[in-house]
Amino acid sequence: MGCFIAAFLFLSPQVLNSTVMKLQAVKGTFDILPEEQSKWRFVYEVAQRVLEHAGVQELSPPIFEHSEVFTKSVGESADLVVQKEMYSFTDLGGRSLTLRPEFTAGVMRAFIEHGMQMCPSPIKLWSRGPAFRAEKPQKGRYRQFHQINCEILGLKHALVDAEAIALLYQIFSELGLKNLLVKLGSVGDPPDRKAYNQYLREQLGQVQDKLSEVSRERLKLNPMRVLDSKDEGDQAIVRELKRPLDFIGAEARAHFEEVKSYLRNWDIPFEIDDSIVRGLDYYNRTAFEFHHGDIGSQSALCGGGRYDGLVENMGGPKTPGVGWAFGIERVLLALEQDRAELPTQQRLALFLIPMDDEAVAEVAKFALGLRQRFSVEHAYTRRNPGKGLKEADRAGAVFAALRGSKEREAGSYQLKHLASGEQITVSQTQLADFLAARL
């Protein structure tokens, strides 16, 4: 540290300025500070419990993959590809690698690589961690964000679609989210999708020059994505058109009806969104989103759906699947809006204060033992009682314990409950049990 500061002293003010300017988190990324960690942990804990109680096992794919894993799976026409939203780079071996923009592709690659189709169906996998998209940052939209992702593979049955939605609903309910809106739709089977895309090409082709630039691009590659446009002009045009649900065939419709009847039977409220389309090309049949009314324009907490052709597209065996991913940042924003009670940082149980030099080593050793049961901190040099107690208070400790020559002779600590001011002398051997009884 000393050398580090010395090196800075030799830099000119201009260099120093530019150096300091650069030492900031990259735009669209952020630090999760110590005082925020308990909220994040809460989300992970609830999700993990709900998912693992339903037999969903955790799989952690690497943060980066060969770029083809993503380009092959998301489809050439996906926004991620079209709008160059992927963070791709060439490594020293000349290979193109990409930081994951989402989890599904990596999980499917792992599923195929490890021959998981041999496991009994359904195979349920969940993942957590950061994902990266080079999008324009705004509230609720970041370049590094965090997702919890779930995939259920191996069964085509509508019960699986409903279960995926129910798991998500349970996680959000247990987190304390209110004001939730579950939007449900179906994009049909591939021939239905094809027919609808053809219809859109014909209809939108006639008004091409009235569409926004992004929508014109989407029209060329994947017309269904025009329905997702936020542009008001596009929306006015789209409102006059038929919906994906008008095009779905008999089998997809029956499947959709079954999903709905399970959800009704389980008292999961939802509304039909007849224009729902997912951003990636691999979806078929069920598509859903969970929205929150109060978090602004980026209201989608989660997106998901069925993707029966994906594993096969990626070179694996024919395997149906359903999945979803939710963004933790947006869920935390929504929880704040709902004024949900979130766990706060765990308090330090005890702060030890050495009052002479000999006590410094004594309290440090005592702390090592106590830490097997409690969170314990100590001052690293001798302190007078007033200063030591202030430090204990600043550290957020519940108790402080003072040790000086008098306490050494008696084999004890002077314990103080910082909130009430209550003081008591406790023998060193009984201090752990005392704390256990009082905390």
Q: Which is nearer to ligand AMP, 102 or 192 (CB)?
A: 102
Q: How far is CA 290 from CA 178, 181, 227, 285, in A?
A: 12, 6, 18, 17
Query: Who contacts 113 (Cβ-Cβ below 8 Å, separation ≥6)?
Result: none
Q: Which stretch binds ligand AMP (CB under 6 A): 53-61, 121-129, 262-270, 300-308?
A: 300-308
Q: Which is nearer to ligand AMP, 144 or 428 (CB)?
A: 144
* Residue 303 touching ligand AMP (CB under 6 A): yes
Among 330, 382, 383, 403, binds ligand AMP (CB under 6 A): 330
* Residue 292 touching ligand AMP (CB under 6 A): no
- Report whether 86 contacts 99 (CB < 8 A): yes
Q: Which is nearer to ligand AMP, 244 or 303 (CB)?
A: 303
Query: 236-265: which residues touch ligand AMP (CB under 6 A)?
Result: none
The least distance separating ligand AMP from the CB of residue 101, rounded to whole angstroms, comes to 8
φ, ψ (nearest 5 deg) of residue 330: -70, -35
Query: 352-391: which residues touch ligand AMP (CB under 6 A)?
Result: none
Retrieve residue 393's tokens. Answer: 């208070």
Residue that has been written with the tokens 């998912």 in this structure: 51
Q: How far is CA 272 from CA 36, 186, 260, in A?
A: 36, 9, 9
Query: 21-60: which residues touch ligand AMP (CB under 6 A)?
Result: none
* Residue 316 touching ligand AMP (CB under 6 A): no
Point out the residue whose Cβ comes nearest to ligand AMP: 327
- Report whether 275 contacts 223 (CB < 8 A): no
Give bridge partners of residue 377 from the DSSP assignment. 351
The Cα–Cα gap between 301 and 332 comes to 10
Write the binding mask 138 to 167 for ligand AMP: x where contact by CB under 6 A, - elsewhere.
Answer: --xxx--x-x--------------------
Q: Which is nearer to ligand AMP, 75 or 303 (CB)?
A: 303
Among 325, 349, 401, 426, binds ligand AMP (CB under 6 A): 325
* Residue 70 touching ligand AMP (CB under 6 A): no
Closest CA to 379 of 403, 404, 352: 352
* Residue 329 touching ligand AMP (CB under 6 A): yes
The least distance separating ligand AMP from the CB of residue 412, rounded to whole angstroms, comes to 54
Among 279, 316, 385, 396, binds ligand AMP (CB under 6 A): 279
Residue type (1 letter), 289: E
The least distance separating ligand AMP from the CB of residue 292, rounded to whole angstroms, comes to 10
* Residue 135 touching ligand AMP (CB under 6 A): yes
Query: Who contacts 160 (Cβ-Cβ below 8 Å, separation ≥6)?
Result: 122, 152, 322
Size of the site for ligand AMP (CB under 6 A): 18
Among 244, 320, 327, 404, binds ligand AMP (CB under 6 A): 327
Q: Which is nearer to ligand AMP, 186 or 412 (CB)?
A: 186
Retrieve residue 200's tokens. Answer: 């859109």
The Cα–Cα gap between 355 and 364 comes to 13
* Residue 300 touching ligand AMP (CB under 6 A): yes
- Report whether 354 contacts 363 (CB < 8 A): yes
Closest CA to 69 of 321, 315, 325: 315
Among 288, 326, 399, 413, binds ligand AMP (CB under 6 A): 326
Radius of gyration, CA atoms only, the chain: 28
Q: Which stretch binds ligand AMP (CB under 6 A): 111-119, 216-224, 296-304, 405-413?
A: 296-304
The Cα–Cα gap between 292 and 334 comes to 7
Q: How far is CA 380 from CA 291, 377, 407, in A?
A: 50, 9, 18
* Residue 102 touching ligand AMP (CB under 6 A): yes
Q: Which stretch binds ligand AMP (CB under 6 A): 13-21, 92-100, 135-143, 210-218?
A: 135-143
Closest CA to 393 of 438, 345, 351: 351
Among 47, 78, 301, 310, binds ligand AMP (CB under 6 A): 301
- Given the rule CB under 6 A, which residues bind ligand AMP? 102, 133, 135, 140-142, 145, 147, 279, 300-303, 325-327, 329-330
